[in-house]
Amino acid sequence: MKTNYMNPYLAGFFLGLVLLATIVITGRGLGASGALKSTVVAAVTSVAPHHAESSSFFSENLKSLHENPLKTWLVFEVIGVIIGGFLSGVVSDRLSLKIEGGPKVKNSFRLLFALIGGALFGIGAQFGRGCTSGAALSGMAVLSTDGIITMMAIFGMGYAVAYFLRKLWI
Amino acid sequence: MFPLVPDLISEELNLIVALLLGIAFGFILEQAGFSSSRRLAGLFYGYDFTVLRVFFTAGVTAMCGVLLLDFFGILDTNFIYINPTYLYPAILGGAIMGLGFVIGGYCPGTSVCAAAIGKIDAMVFVAGGLLGVYLFGEGYPLYHDFYTGSFLGNIRIFDSLGMSQGMFALLLIAMAVGAFYFTSKIEQKVNAEAESFTFNKKHHAIAGGSVLALGVALVFMPNHKERILSEVMKSDYIKNHPVKEMTSDELAFRILDKDPRLQIIDLRDTSEFNRMTLPGAVNIQRDQLFQKEFSNILGQSHKKKVFIANSEVDEREAALLSNEIGYENLYVLCDGVHDFVSAILTLQQPASKPKVCEFQVLFAGTNSKPMEQHPDARYIADTERFRAKASGEILTMIKEAKEKPVKKITLVKKVAGGC
């Protein structure tokens, strides 16, 4: 696998510095799934306001997020991730529309599994109050018990099921 | 000094900061190869351990940074967001995410980054993520109790494991470096074109050795709070560091005078505080002095903060701790609350007794300079008259304060965080 990616330890070091800067400046960590939540809350609220009001999840979050759920820290941060990822793609000449998956997986299956995997992550990140970035990585940096538990659960479960799903990737 | 939010950065500016930090985050994720699901999934099959390397290096780097900045008193860790631990939801959520990781090949952050460079599977993953949050929201009443249950507080892992934070940091670093070494061996067996073949061995060994050395150093770096505590708790510290004193008479005078520059800090525990305290006192116990919540009380430099407790040693300890934390204009009440009660409230002390802080008698020995060596008759008469007046009025004030609802301390807002 020839790549022109950055040395992973160096990338990790820089990522750690960005996370540290985030904690030092804002007092909070990085995240990602929270932006998904804000998007869903905003969408449900604008499409079906009555439904959003009667549902405890959407109304509670609407209250806690902001008068405008899209005007939150994580939404702006994730917009930044899109811009930053795109810039990096431009710099390293990796921009292209394509579907990537295991060598033996048909594209339609890959997309179906991406959808299912995404949905599981969406659900799991709600239970876990954060995903790999917000709970596991940022949680580890501030040595929260939650971060370490979530991280072990994510990777532990990953390894536990990897064998049964190996046809997806190898 | 840090963090800057919410004291120094406005909400709007913070969003700009979020955007900029996000750009850096996304750029590095993409440069690290996190925009490739094949690469990400390789972690679980042994052909590519990029995720492990980047993830743990980032975690260790940020953790070391937080601990170092805390040690030097630059970052106030009482104030940063610590993810709350809801034990069972965290385990279940993590497990579901682990399953989603292997099935989908991304996690939310990396999927957004991959979608940005045109990966269609990543865009579908993001859509799936939105769907997942929506489904969770629809079913929320079913597991609301589970979701909000098993709450253990905003606990830290080293407390949970009963070790010092430095020791945990060293363990984590050792685990990370060990994992880096062994996974490279695995990767080189499984994948003939493994990236780790290209690593410069010498540089990587130096980096691994340095971070381990830092880990060992961290064991000997208690956090800011522990450092100050251990410093002030040294046996001679209190004896050798003078503190400004206030006699019961002066305190009574200032209370009666409704001195706007007086702030009494009651260090006793809550039950004693609730039973009886002096007018206008705020209950802050020793360990709470470190909390940023109380900084707007302790930090009012124009006010005389008078610490009151059952013993003057406790008061001195608190005053010296506060001084080390960076607060100023601190006083202790001579001989503690009991002296105030017996001298002023119950009038059980003869006014002729020369007023010397007991602490000075005990420790300072002959060097002590009593405020009044030989009180003359007029002074005694004045003092008696003053105390008789003060006794009644302050008792009334105490009674009135008790009937009034307790003044709520306006707590400094903690940083909100999490996903």
Residue pLDDT, tens place only, A44-85: 988 998 888 888 888 888 877 666 888 889 999 999 999 999
Kindly state the average pLDDT of the residues A88-114.
Answer: 93
- The pLDDT, as a whole number, for residue A130 is 93
pLDDT digits (tens, 9 = 90+) for B231-252: 888 878 888 888 888 988 899 9
**Token pair recorded at residue A115:** 């959808």
pLDDT of residue B93 exceeding 60, the answer is yes
Q: How far is A46 from chain B (nearest CA, A)?
A: 14
Residues of A in contact with B129 (CB under 8 A): 33, 36, 118-119, 121-122, 125
Measured over the CA atoms of residue A15, residue A21, residue A24 and residue A25, the dihedral's sign is negative
Count of beta carbons in the 10 Å neighbourhood of residue B161: 13
Nearest CA in chain A to B135: A123
Q: How far is A40 from chain B (nearest CA, A)?
A: 6
- The pLDDT, as a whole number, for residue A1 is 40
pLDDT band with cut points at 50, 70 and 90 for residue B348: confident
Average pLDDT, chain B: 87
Residues of B in contact with A71 (CB under 8 A): 15
| Partner residue opposite B58 with nearest CB, options A15, A92, A102 | A15
Residues of A in contact with B30 (CB under 8 A): 84-85, 88-89, 92, 94
Alpha-carbon A119 to chain mean position? 12
Find out whether B73 and B224 touch, Cβ atoms under 8 Å. yes
From residue B110, how far is each of A92, A133, B91 by CA, in Å?
Answer: 17, 9, 22
Q: How many CA atoms lie within 13 A of B249 on its CB side?
A: 20
- The pLDDT, as a whole number, for residue B405 is 62
Taking an 8 Å cut-off on Cβ atoms, the answer to whether B104 and A80 are in contact is no
Taking an 8 Å cut-off on Cβ atoms, the answer to whether B5 and A26 are in contact is yes
pLDDT digits (tens, 9 = 90+) for A33-47: 999 999 999 999 889
Q: How far is A4 from chain B (nearest CA, A)?
A: 9
pLDDT of residue B135 exceeding 90, the answer is yes
Which of B186, B170, B182 is CA-nearest to residue B220? B170
Distance CA B177, CA B232 (A): 37
pLDDT of residue B358 exceeding 70, the answer is no
ipTM of the predicted structure? 0.95
Highest mean pLDDT among B17-31, B64-78, B397-411: B17-31
Distance CA B30, CA B229 (A): 44
Distance CA A141, CA B169 (A): 10
Q: Which residues have a Cβ under 8 Å from the Cβ of B172 and sit 6 or more positions away?
A: A140, B59, B60, B63, B215
Residues of B in contact with A122 (CB under 8 A): 108, 128-136
Which of B33, B80, B77 is CA-nearest to residue B55? B33
Helix count and strand count (H, E) for chain A: 8, 0
Taking an 8 Å cut-off on Cβ atoms, the answer to whether B29 and A85 are in contact is yes
- The pLDDT, as a whole number, for residue B373 is 55
Block residue for tokens 């490279």 = B184
Taking an 8 Å cut-off on Cβ atoms, the answer to whether A158 and B44 are in contact is yes
Q: Tell me the percentage of chain B whose pLDDT exceeds 90.
A: 46
pLDDT digits (tens, 9 = 90+) for B185-220: 988 888 888 888 888 889 999 999 999 999 999 998
DSSP A144: B
Size of interface A-B (CB pairs under 8 A): 583
pLDDT digits (tens, 9 = 90+) for B319-335: 999 998 888 899 999 88
Kindly state the average pLDDT of the residues A145-157.
Answer: 96
Taking an 8 Å cut-off on Cβ atoms, the answer to whether A89 and B30 are in contact is yes
pLDDT of residue A2 exceeding 80, the answer is no
pLDDT of residue B155 exceeding 70, the answer is yes
Residues of A in contact with B140 (CB under 8 A): 55-57
Phi then psi for residue A11, to 5 deg, are -60, -40
Taking an 8 Å cut-off on Cβ atoms, the answer to whether A12 and B56 are in contact is yes
**Token pair recorded at residue A136:** 């596991």
Kindly state the average pLDDT of the residues B390-419.
Answer: 72
DSSP B302: T
Taking an 8 Å cut-off on Cβ atoms, the answer to whether A97 and B118 are in contact is yes
Q: How far is A157 from chain B (nearest CA, A)?
A: 5
- The pLDDT, as a whole number, for residue A111 is 96
Residues of B in contact with A86 (CB under 8 A): 26, 116-117
**Token pair recorded at residue A156:** 């532990």
pLDDT band with cut points at 50, 70 and 90 for residue B408: low
Q: How far is A72 from chain B (nearest CA, A)?
A: 7
pLDDT of residue A164 exceeding 90, the answer is yes
Taking an 8 Å cut-off on Cβ atoms, the answer to whether A84 and B128 are in contact is no
Nearest CA in chain A to B113: A85
Distance CA B35, CA A4 (A): 13
Query: Domain residue spans in chain B?
Result: 11-225, 231-403
Superfamily of domain covering B231-403:
Rhodanese-like domain (3.40.250.10)
Q: Which residues have a Cβ under 8 Å from the Cβ of B1 and sit 6 or more positions away?
A: B73, B74, B75, B76
Taking an 8 Å cut-off on Cβ atoms, the answer to whether A156 and B95 are in contact is yes
Taking an 8 Å cut-off on Cβ atoms, the answer to whether B61 and A15 are in contact is yes
SS3 A59: helix
Nearest CA in chain B to A141: B63
Taking an 8 Å cut-off on Cβ atoms, the answer to whether B94 and A128 are in contact is yes
* Mutation for testing the A interface, residue in B121, B181, B186, B204 having most A CBs under 10 Å: B121
Nearest CA in chain B to A88: B27
pLDDT digits (tens, 9 = 90+) for B26-47: 999 999 999 999 999 999 998 8
pLDDT digits (tens, 9 = 90+) for B263-312: 999 999 988 888 888 888 999 988 888 877 787 888 888 899 999 999 88
Block residue for tokens 């990822």 = A85
Q: How far is B100 from chain A (nearest CA, A)?
A: 4
Distance CA B24, CA A15 (A): 8
Q: How far is B186 from chain A (nearest CA, A)?
A: 15
DSSP A7: P
Distance CA A59, CA A49 (A): 10
- The pLDDT, as a whole number, for residue B7 is 65
Q: Tell me the percentage of chain A whose pLDDT exceeds 70.
A: 96
Taking an 8 Å cut-off on Cβ atoms, the answer to whether B18 and A122 are in contact is no
Taking an 8 Å cut-off on Cβ atoms, the answer to whether B19 and A80 are in contact is yes
B352: left (phi over 0), alpha (psi -120 to 50) or beta: alpha
SS3 B46: coil
- The pLDDT, as a whole number, for residue B411 is 53
Alpha helices in A66-164 (DSSP H): 73-91, 107-127, 138-141, 145-162
Taking an 8 Å cut-off on Cβ atoms, the answer to whether A132 and B109 are in contact is yes
- The pLDDT, as a whole number, for residue B366 is 43
From residue B386, how far is each of B129, B382, B393 by CA, in Å?
Answer: 74, 6, 11
**Token pair recorded at residue A20:** 């540290």
Distance CA A58, CA A51 (A): 9
Residues of B in contact with A39 (CB under 8 A): 130
Taking an 8 Å cut-off on Cβ atoms, the answer to whether B4 and A125 are in contact is no
Q: How far is B151 from chain A (nearest CA, A)?
A: 10
Q: How far is B95 from chain A (nearest CA, A)?
A: 5
Least confident of A42-46, A92-96, A103-107, B5-9: B5-9
- The pLDDT, as a whole number, for residue B362 is 59
